Homo-oligomer: A and B are copies of this chain.
Amino acid sequence: MRIAMAQINSHLGNFSANADKIIEYTKKALDRNCDLVLFPELALFGYWTSDLLERPSIVAAQDKELEKLAKKIPEGIGVLFGAVTHAKKTDIKYFRNSAVFLQKNKKPKFFHKELLPTYEVFDEKRHFAEGELVKNVLKFKGKRLLVSICEDIWGWGEAWEGTRYVNNPFRALRGEKFDAVLNLSASPFSKAKDERRLSVVQKTAQYMKCPLVYVNMVGGQDELVFDGGSIAVDKKGNVIAESSYFEEDINLVDIDSLEGGIRPHNLTSLKKKDKDLEAFRRAIALGIKDFVAKNGMKKVHLGLSGGIDSALVACLAVDALGPGNVTCIAMPSEFNHQESYELAKQLASNLGSKFYSIPIKDPYEGMLKAFEDNISKEDFGLMNENLQARIRGAFLMAYSNRHHSMLLTTGNKSEYATGYATLYGDMNGGLAPIGDLLKTEVFALSEYYNKEYELIPRRIIDRPPSAELRPDQKDEDSLPPYKVLDKSIEKIVVECKPATTKVDKEVLKMIYRNEFKRWQAAPIVRVSKHAFGTGRRFPITNAAIL
């Protein structure tokens, strides 16, 4: 049996476009003589359904599209894709996360997800009732196939801090014979996720003693980036097919001959360190691209300071949208070195992007005077630093208003953790592309961009990082060295471990103290196991600094 793995980029809520794509890829599969075509989880609805499911009018629209789609299925192929379906009247929730099997002129068959992830960015028990994996048997063309959906194959231990799957639904199927396990996924990217994914795919295939065909979604959705990388393994766990990452793909696998396509240029061919960086680059570029396009925009802009964070965001934005759609704006003050301006200008020129400059000295002095004349006069302090950042933020938003362009914010994860960023200033923006990269990762990815030639002027990388908001300021005057700081952030935020060292404890306090800033932060493109954003729900009011 020949199976097509159709790794598509669904658009959340755009049911007709998603249905068209399902038909388009079904035809491609038919052209390639496939018996069956697999699509990702919720391919028709789009993933991160969340509270859209509280609007019955929305599910009704998907249902209608599903009916229309059923009539368009061509002869000679089975089509299996994810969709929202209605739960039983005795279920606690109204919906199910299902796989729908369609064939021309036959009644549709439904299979329901059993393990509903409810941790980190996942809220599935908020809206979905549980199915039973043991019931998900699809008999088709003489084969006995087991239909699983995403999390169903992740039940081999602790899934996340606070969630352990003691009742792995595959245990109830031990010893049963299947010709293959199918898995429809919408599994978002995070660092080295492909390795963890391969591991659960292999464990499941080995446990069930049959091949496993795994199809993942691709595309950006707010904070999440689905990275594709669909895969098929034989019963021993050997990879027999692997699809591209971060782009739509259709790939074939035969579960009898155990032959399939292995994409030549996928990430797997890279060495570990480069692989992680290339994955970051592609994940963030796709995150930007889809966020901008799926929200009906074309252009972005950012404040380019001559520092490394904004330099990296500019590179990623150009990767995502092309230089013609990216505008860089320098806003030098009396505290910026002339070199910063020159470096920003040089980078914009290297990228081929538009470049503007607005000196902020006069507006800053004007606003300061107005405040001090009318309220209070004090020595230079935090207020003066933040005021500069907020004036810049206001200019960047003025550019948004005038030029229908989306502002990208340039903060990194180390800044978000420590609060080393100005709320309503440099935190302004529609999306935070590198908000989940630690500063040390920002350096590494910048070096990676410079691998072939000096795209980012060397001095941008080499100069000691500075916010340049007061004379001779350096980040390390107020923060631990980034190498040390990032280790603590990784330990506390990503791994949820207790603070043990002196630096850890200092960092922990900063993290809690700045919860109020992150509450109001732009969506952050998630590239780690635990990003700031909706996957990390901490209170502002909280006395447990532990």
Q: How far is the CA of A383 from the CA of B397 in the complex (A)?
A: 8
Query: Least Cβ distance of A122 to chain B in Å?
Result: 9
The interface residues of chain B lying within 8 Å CB-to-CB of A534 are 537
Q: Does A270 contact B (CB under 8 A)?
A: no
Known: A61-B546, A540-B295, A543-B14. A166 touches B386 (CB 8 A): no
Residue of B nearest to A394 (CB): B390
Query: Least Cβ distance of A507 to chain B in Å?
Result: 14
Q: Does A163 contact B (CB under 8 A)?
A: yes
As a 0/1 sequence over residues 40 to 73 of chain A, the CB contacts with chain B under 8 angstroms (1 = contact) are 0000001010111111111011000000000000
Q: Does A335 contact B (CB under 8 A)?
A: no
The interface residues of chain B lying within 8 Å CB-to-CB of A95 are 162
Q: Judge whether B395 and A371 touch: CB under 8 Å.
A: yes
Q: How far is the CA of A521 from the CA of B522 in the complex (A)?
A: 10
Interface residues of A in 525-543 (CB under 8 A from B): 534, 536-543
Q: How far is the CA of A161 from the CA of B94 in the complex (A)?
A: 9
Query: Least Cβ distance of A344 to chain B in Å?
Result: 14
Q: Does A457 contact B (CB under 8 A)?
A: no
Q: Judge whether B291 and A541 touch: CB under 8 Å.
A: yes
Interface residues of A in 488-531 (CB under 8 A from B): 496, 498-499, 516, 519-523
Q: Does A172 contact B (CB under 8 A)?
A: no
Query: Least Cβ distance of A162 to chain B in Å?
Result: 5
Q: Does A276 contact B (CB under 8 A)?
A: no
Q: How far is the CA of A523 from the CA of B370 in the complex (A)?
A: 30
The interface residues of chain B lying within 8 Å CB-to-CB of A371 are 358, 395, 398-399
Q: Does A12 contact B (CB under 8 A)?
A: yes
The interface residues of chain B lying within 8 Å CB-to-CB of A165 are 92
Which of A28-36, A233-241, A359-367 forms contacts with chain B? A359-367
Interface residues of A in 185-230 (CB under 8 A from B): 220-222
Q: Judge whether A295 and B358 touch: CB under 8 Å.
A: no
Q: Judge whether A367 and B395 touch: CB under 8 Å.
A: yes
Query: Least Cβ distance of A543 to chain B in Å?
Result: 4
Query: Least Cβ distance of A37 to chain B in Å?
Result: 24
Residue of B nearest to A429 (CB): B520
Q: Does A17 contact B (CB under 8 A)?
A: yes
Q: Does A357 contact B (CB under 8 A)?
A: yes
Query: Least Cβ distance of A131 to chain B in Å?
Result: 16
Q: How far is the CA of A88 from the CA of B11 in the complex (A)?
A: 41
Interface residue count for A (Cβ, 8 Å)?
A: 103
Query: Least Cβ distance of A375 to chain B in Å?
Result: 5
Q: Judge whether A496 and B54 touch: CB under 8 Å.
A: yes
Residue of B nearest to A382 (CB): B401
Q: How far is the CA of A363 from the CA of B542 in the complex (A)?
A: 38
Q: How far is the CA of A520 from the CA of B126 in the complex (A)?
A: 23
Residue of B nearest to A534 (CB): B537
Return the contact of A430 from the options B118, B163, B402, B516 (Cβ within 8 A).
B516
Q: Does A387 contact B (CB under 8 A)?
A: yes
Residue of B nearest to A88 (CB): B166
The interface residues of chain B lying within 8 Å CB-to-CB of A162 are 53-54, 93-95, 126-127
Q: Does A257 contact B (CB under 8 A)?
A: no
Q: Does A156 contact B (CB under 8 A)?
A: no
Q: Does A391 contact B (CB under 8 A)?
A: yes
Residue of B nearest to A51 (CB): B537
As a 0/1 sequence over residues 461 to 505 of chain A, the CB contacts with chain B under 8 angstroms (1 = contact) are 000000000000000000000000000000000001011000000
Q: Which 6 A-B pairs have the closest CB atoms?
A: A13-B544, A14-B543, A383-B401, A57-B498, A13-B543, A390-B394
29 pairs of residues in contact across A and B, judged by CB atoms under 8 Å: A12-B539, A13-B543, A46-B542, A50-B537, A54-B161, A56-B498, A57-B499, A58-B546, A61-B544, A89-B166, A92-B164, A92-B166, A92-B167, A93-B162, A94-B162, A118-B126, A123-B123, A295-B541, A358-B371, A366-B366, A375-B402, A376-B402, A383-B398, A390-B393, A390-B424, A394-B424, A397-B424, A519-B522, A523-B540
